[in-house]
Structure 1
Amino acid sequence: MKKVLAIMVFAVLFSCKEGDKARKPIKQVTVEEGELTAMQQNLSKYVPFKLTSDVSVLSENERKMLPILIKAAHKMNELFWYESYGNKAELLKGISDEDTKKYVKINYGPWDRLNGNTSFVEGIGAKPLGANYYPADMTKEEFDAFTDESKSSLYTFVRRNEDGSLKTIPYKVQFEAQVKEVSALLLEASKLAEDAGLKKYLELRSQAFLTDDYQPSDFAWMEMKTNRLDVVIGPIETYEDQLFGNKAAHEGYVLIKDMEWSKKLEKFAQFLPELQVGLPVDEKYKQEKPGTDSELNAYDVVYYAGDCNSGSKTIAINLPNDEEVQLKNGSRRLQLKNAMRAKFDKILIPITGKLIEEGQRKHVTFDAFFANTMFHEVAHGLGIKKTINGKGMVRASLKELASALEEGKADILGLYMVQQLHKKGEIEGDMKDYMTTFMAGIFRSVRFGASSAHGKANMIRFNFFKEKGAFSKNEDGTYKVNYDKMEVAMKDLSSVILTLQGNGDYDGVLKLVQEKGIIPADLQADLDKLSEQNIPVDVIFEQGVKALGL
C-alpha cells in the first residue's frame, strides 16, 4: 500500500470534531506531490486493522451484553487519558493541525510512544517519568520522605496540598463519577450473563471500581472456566509509571473466546511445576511453586481501550498481576488470535523479508509466532515473585525497572518452555521455526522504543545475543541465526534475569539496562531501512459495535 493511501485510511478512522483554535500555532509545511509531512510519516508507522469475530456463535443474551461491555471498556479511555497526560480537551484545543491531532489520539498524549516518548507538539516538553500520577516537580527524595502509607498503592494519585506538601487521592475519589458509571454498566451486563462464573466476576468487578479493592474480582476471574464472553477492565498494568512502577493504568479489552482453539491449549498449563524445577538457574531461585490452576485460552479481541490501546498494541495477556492470586491460583493467559494474525501478516513477514537470511525465512511461521507469544505469557508464572533475601516482592524491590526485566524474563523463558516441550514431543514442528521466528520478533518489538518495557527488553536481548554469537550478520545486511549458540545464550540470559529478580538487585538491573538496553548504531540503521520500506511498526484498530455488525 502506498503511503498516501494509508494516510487516507487514517483520515477516515480518526476524524476530529474538537475545536481547532490553536493555543500555539503549529508550523505549516508545504508538501510536494508524493511527499509526506513529518506527521504523516508518523501516522504511517501504524497500519489499520478491523477487529471482527463471528458473533453468530453467541447467544441472544451474549449479543446484548457486547455493546454494554464495549461501552464500559470505552470509559477506560477517559481515565487513561488523565493518567497519561491530564486534560485531553485542552490539549486538542491548542492544536490546529489535523494530522497532529490524530497522532495525539493514538498516543494518548503529545509524546511519541514509538520514539522514546519524545514530544511532537510544539511548546510541550519531555514527558514526566511519573506521567500524571505525581506532581511533575516532585523529586524521588521528596516521595521517599512522604509518610503516607498509601503513597505506593496501585490505586492512588499523589498530589500537593495548598501548602505544597504531598497527599494521596484514591482512584475511586479522583474518578468518582466515571467509576460509578462503569460499575453500573458492569452490573447491567451481569444481569444478562448466563454463565455463573462470568456473572459473579462482573458483579465483583462492578464493586471493585467503587472500592479500589480488586482482589476478590481477580480471584473470581480466575475461577471462570466456561464463559464465552470476557472483559478485562480496570487499573491493571504499571508500565505508564516509569518513575516508580507503582501506579496502575486503566484499560479495557472485550473478548470472545475461541472455544475450539482454547481446548487445544488446555494441556500446557499442567507442565508449569515441572518446567519450574528445570529452570536454568541455581536452586534457590526456583523454590516457589507456580499455581496449578493456570489456564491458556485463545480469543478474538473485539475492543481495546486505554493503556492497552496506546502506542504498540498487546497481542497476549497474562493476568492477574496480584502476586497473592498468582501464587494461590496461578494466572490466565489470553492469546488474542485475530490481533496476533494482524501483526504477523502486516509486520513480521515484511520484516523477515528484509532482515532474515533468505535460506532461513521459511522458518518464520504463524504457528511458531503464536507459540512464542503464548509461552511468553505462560512464562510470567515461572521464576520468582518474592526475593530470597528479605527485600520483599520482586516488583516492589526493582521499582520502575521491574516491568522491563519481567518482560525480558517472559520472552526468554517462553523460548525455554518451547524448547523443553518440543523435546518432550508436546509441541510439533521444527525447533528452527521457533528460534528463527523469535529472532525476527526481536526486530519487530525493538521498534517499540525505549519507552516501552517490551522494547527495552528486546534491546537487552539483542545485545546479549550478539555478545554470545547467537546470530551473525551477512554481507547483504541480513541476519543468520546460529541455533546452537542461541540455545546457550537463552540459558545464560535466563540465569542472569532470574538471579537479578531473586536478589531484588536494583543496581544490577540498572547496570544491565544502561549497558544493553540501547539500540546500537548498526541495528538502528537496519530499523531505519524498515521505515524507508514503509513497513509499519504497529497496528491501529477499527473497532466497536459497527465493526462487529451488531
Structure 2
Amino acid sequence: MPTPRFSPLRLLGAACLLAALAACAREPGPAATATATTSAPQSPADYAAAHAHDYATVPLRADLSRFDARGRRMIALLIQACDVTNEIFWRQSWNGDRAELLARAPNAAARTLIEINYGPWDRLNEDAPMLPDVGPRPPGAAFYPVDMSKEEFEASPLPDKTSPYTLLRREAGRLVTVPYREAYRPQLERAAALLREAAGFSDDAAFAAYLRMRADALLSDDYRASDLAWMDMKTNPVDVVIGPIEVYDDRLYGYKAAYEGLVLIKDQAWSEKLARFAEFLPALQQGLPVPAKYKAERPGANADLNAYRAVFYAGDANAGAKTIAINLPNDEDVQLRKGTRRLQLENVMQAKFDAILMPIAQRLIARDQLRHVTFDAFFANTMFHEVAHGLGIKKTVDGRGTVDEALKEYASSLEEGKADVLGLYMIDALSAQGELDKAKLMDHYVTFLAGILRSVRFGASDAHGKANMLRFNYFARRGAFVRDADGRYRVDLGKMRSAARELGAKLLTVQGDGDYEEARRMSESLGAVPASLAADLATLKAAKIPIDLRFEQGLATLGLGEYAAERR
C-alpha cells in the first residue's frame, strides 16, 4: 500500500472551507514484557546486535534559502546553544563518568546505543541494562541520591525539595538541595552566551528579546518571564526550545525537570491553517462530559498551533524515542494566563509514519480497514492530543493545590492518557459541527488504533508508556477493537467512541479530585501487556520494523559547517 504524503488539503478534507476562512510526546520507550528483558542476550555486543534495527536513521534537513547570512548564523548559534544541553542531560541521566562508561562498550554498535540512550539502560526496552554490573536504572535518575528512600525525602524539611530546578544531594549524610544554576553553572553560562549572541543576529525583535530573557532564565532558574514572552511570539520564522522542561525522567516523583533543546524552522503557511483550531478551546472545554466543577477553568485565549521542521534535537528530547509534537509551557500559571503553544514537528511525524506506523498497520490492522490509516489522520490525532492538554483543570477541585502535586508520580501518565482520549473527543465534536469532514471520522479512529499498536511497543516504563497501556487495555475490555482470527485488529467505531468518552470522563475526574489512590489503582490494573499483544509485538520485531528514530543532524547536515569551524 503506498504511503500517503503530507497534504494540508487532505488533512482538512471538507474543512477546506475552514482553512480558507482562517487563511500530536513525548514519546517514550518495546513493550513491558518479562520476556523482552529476561531473554535479552547477556553480552553487550550481542545485545547491541539484537537491537540494531530498533532505530530508523533520518536526516534532519531543511531548506534555509530564505535566510540571509545573519539568519543562518543565528540558526547555527541556536544549535550550538542547544548542544550544550546534551552535556547537562548526560549528568542528569548517569551518575558516573560518561567517557568511562562509553569506554566499557565492546564495539561501536554498543557505544552508539549507549549514546542514544544517554546511559547504559535501553529506553526502548523497559530500561534493560546494556552493560553488566550497572544494575537497574534508578527511578530518580541522577536527580536524587540512589540510596534515598521516599520516606526520607518526605520527612525532609527542605523547602525547595520539590522544585523542578533542584537536585537532592548528601552532605555529611544529610539531604541537601543544589539549585540547577549552581550544579551546571559552566554549561549554563556557555549556553546563555550563545543565546545572547544569537539574539544579535535576529531580525525579529520579539524573538531577540526572548532569547536574552531565556539566557537570563538559564542562570537564575526563573523561567516564568521568558515563558510569558515565548507565548506572545507570533512572527518569528525560527524557534528554539531550551532549558529544563519535562519531568518524565524523574520516575520517583515526577518533580525534576530534564534539560533539552530543539531548533525549529516554522512552516508559516501551514501554521496559518492550523491556528484556527485553537479558537474552539473555550467551547470544547464547556462541552467536556463531566460535571461543571471539573471544567471550571478557562483555557488561555492566547493558545496557538504551529507547524515546524525540526532541524536539531538535544538532551532529553533526543534520548530514546523522539517527540513529534510539543505543548508548552508547563507552568500552570502561564497556562491559565496565556494558554499554551502547540508545535507540530511535521518532518519527524512523516518519518515515523513512513518508517514505523504504516509498516505496523500493514501487518496488524484488518485488511479492509487499512485504507483508513492515513498520514493526515495521524497528523490530526497528534495535533488534537496536544490541544487537549489545554482541556480540563490544572488545580484540584478541593483547592488543595495542583493536579501534579496531588497525583505525584502518576500525574504525567494520567495527563498523557487524558490528552489521548480528549483528542478524539475534539475530533468528534468538530466533525459534528462541520469543522472537520465527518466522512473521514473512521480514518481518525483506525489510525488511532494503529498509533496505539505503535506506541505500546514503548511499554510502561514512563509516562507515555503507562498511558498507552492503560488506554489499550481499557479500550480492549470495552470491545472498542477486536482481534480477528488472522491476528489483525479491527475497530468498532461506535464502541471506540463510547470508550474514549468514558475514559476521558474518568481521567478528568481523577485529576480534578486529586485521587492519588485511584490513579495508582488504574495504572496497576491496566498496565500489563496481554499475551496476545506480546506475541504481536514479537512479530513486529522479527520483521525488523523500527521502534523509533535516530537522527543525522547538526551544522554539517544543514550546510552550516562553516560556523562550526569558526568556533574551533
Report deviation, 1:197: 1.4
Q: Does 1:60 align with 2:55?
A: no
CA contact (8 A) 1:364 1:440 kept: yes
Matches within 5 A, 1:136-155: 136-155=146-165
C-alpha contact 1:51 1:303 (8 A) present in aligned 2:
yes
Instruction: After TM superposition, list the pairs within 5 Å mapping 1:485-500 onto structure 2.
Output: 485-500=495-510
Write the distance in 1 (CA, Å) between the matches of 2:61 and 2:377.
23
Asked if 1:543 corresponds to 2:553, the answer is yes
- Alignment-mate amino acid for residue 373 of structure 2: V
Q: Is the 8 A contact 1:285 1:383 kept in 2?
A: yes
Counterpart of 2:286? Answer: 277
Match of 1:92 in 2: 102
- Take 2:443 and 2:368, find their aligned partners in 1: how far apart are those partners? 12
After superposition, the CA RMSD in angstroms is 1.1
Pairing 1:446–2:456 present? yes
Q: What residue in structure 2 maps to residue 184 of structure 1?
A: 193
* DSSP 3-state at the match of 2:306: strand
Structure 2 SS opposite 1:230: strand
SS in 1 for 2:167: strand
Counterparts of 1:130 and 1:226, CA distance in 2 = 39
Name the SS for the 1:540 alignment partner. strand
Number of aligned residue pairs: 517
Query: C-alpha distance in 2, partners of 1:95/1:540?
Result: 19
Q: Structure 1: 5+ residue runs without aligned partners?
A: 1-25, 30-36
**Residue in 2 that maps onto 1:133:** 143
Give the structure 1 partner of residue 540 of structure 2: 530
**Residue 276 and residue 92 in structure 1: after superposition, are their counterparts in 2 closer, same or farther (change >3 A)?**
same
User: In the TM superposition, what is the alpha-carbon distance from 1:437 to its structure 2 partner?
Assistant: 0.4
CA drift at 1:27? 4.3
Partner of residue 168 from structure 2, selected from 150, 154, 158: 158
3-state secondary structure, aligned to 2:51: helix
Query: Which residue of the partner structure matches residue 232 of structure 1?
Result: 241
* 2:26 match: none
Distance 1:385 1:261 in 2: 30
| In 1: Cα distance, 2:105 partner to 2:441 partner | 51
Q: 1:311 aligns with which of 314, 320, 323?
A: 320
Q: Which amino acid aligns with 2:162?
A: S
SS at match of 1:49: strand
Partner residue, 1:70: 79
Following the alignment from structure 1 to structure 2, what is the Cα–Cα distance between the partners of residues 104 and 124?
12
Cα shift at 1:232: 0.2
Q: Which residue is equivalent to 1:5?
A: none
1:9: which partner in 2?
none
Change (3 A) 1:28 1:321: closer
The answer to whether structure 1 residue 210 and structure 2 residue 189 are counterparts is no
Q: After superposition, what is the alpha-carbon deviation per residue over 1:148-191, rounded to whole angstroms, capped at 9, x for unaligned? A: 11111110000000x20000000010001000000100000011
Three-state SS of the structure 1 residue aligned to 2:281 is helix
Name the residue aligned to 1:388. 397
Q: Does 1:407 align with 2:402?
A: no
After superposition, residues 404-483 of structure 1 pair within 5 angstroms as: 404-428=413-437, 430-483=440-493
- Once the two structures are TM-superposed, the CA of residue 384 in structure 1 deviates from its matched residue by 0.9
Q: CA deviation at 1:28?
A: 7.8
Asked if 2 retains the 8 angstrom alpha-carbon contact of 1:446 and 1:454, the reply is no
Structure 2, unpaired ranges of 5+: 1-41, 561-568
Q: What is the 5 A alignment of 1:192-207?
A: 192-207=201-216
Change (3 A) 1:526 1:27: closer
Secondary structure of 1:292's partner? coil
Instruction: Determine whether 1:511 maps to 2:521.
Output: yes
Tell me, in whole angstroms, the C-alpha distance in 1 between the residues paired with 2:112 and 2:247.
25
In structure 1, distance between residues paired with 2:417 and 2:169: 33
Q: Which residue of 2 aligns with 1:16?
A: none
Deviation at 1:451, TM superposition (A): 1.5
- Partner SS, residue 418 of structure 1: helix
On the 8 A contact 2:481/2:489 being kept in 1, the answer is: yes
Structure-2 change in CA distance of 1:228 and 1:358 (3 Å): same
Is contact 2:455–2:465 with CA below 8 Å preserved after alignment?
yes
Q: Counterparts of 1:316 and 1:532 in 2: how far apart (Å)?
A: 29
Measure, in 2, the Cα distance between the counterparts of 1:289 and 1:59. Answer: 42
8 Å CA contact 1:456–1:518 kept in 2: the answer is: no
CA contact (8 A) 2:410 2:520 kept: yes
> 1:60 Cα deviation (Å)?
3.0
Q: What is residue 117 of structure 2 aligned with on the other side?
A: 107
Partner of 1:41: 50
The equivalent residue for 1:245 is 254
* Residue type of the alignment partner of 1:94: R
1:480 alignment partner AA: R
Native 8 Å contact 1:365 1:433 kept in 2: yes
Query: Which is worse superposed, 419-428 or 381-390?
Result: 419-428
Q: Structure 1, residues 365-385: CA drift from partner, whole Å, max 9, x if none?
A: 011000000011100000110
CA distance in 2, matches of 1:379, 1:27: 44
What residue identity is the alignment partner of 2:431? H
Deviates more, 1:390-399 or 1:337-346: 390-399
Q: Using the alignment, how far apart are the partners of 1:202 and 1:184 within structure 2?
A: 10
Q: Distance in 1 between matches of 2:320 and 2:360?
A: 19
Distance in 2, matches of 1:352 and 1:58, equals 39
> Taking structure 1 as reference, are residues 28 and 420 closer, same or farther at Cα in structure 2, changes over 3 Å only?
closer
Aligned to 2:58, the other structure's residue is in SS state: strand
Relative contact order higher in (CA < 8 Å, ≥ 6 apart): 2
Q: Distance in 2 between matches of 1:396 and 1:97?
A: 44
- 2:201 aligned partner, one-letter code: L
**Matched position secondary structure for 1:305:** strand
* Secondary structure of the structure 2 residue equivalent to 1:447: helix
* Separation (CA, whole Å) in 2 of partners of 1:263 and 1:328: 23
Distance 2:43 2:237 in 1: 50
Matched AA of 1:344 = F
CA distance in 2, matches of 1:530, 1:352: 10
The residue identity in structure 2 corresponding to 1:506 is Y
| Distance in 1 of aligned mates of 2:109 and 2:44 | 11
> SS of the residue aligned with 1:430?
helix
Preserved contact between residue 44 and residue 131 of structure 2 (Cα < 8 Å): no
Alignment partners' CA distance in 1, 2:457 and 2:144: 28
| TM-score of the two chains, using structure 1 as the length reference | 0.93
Q: Secondary structure at the match of 2:201?
A: coil
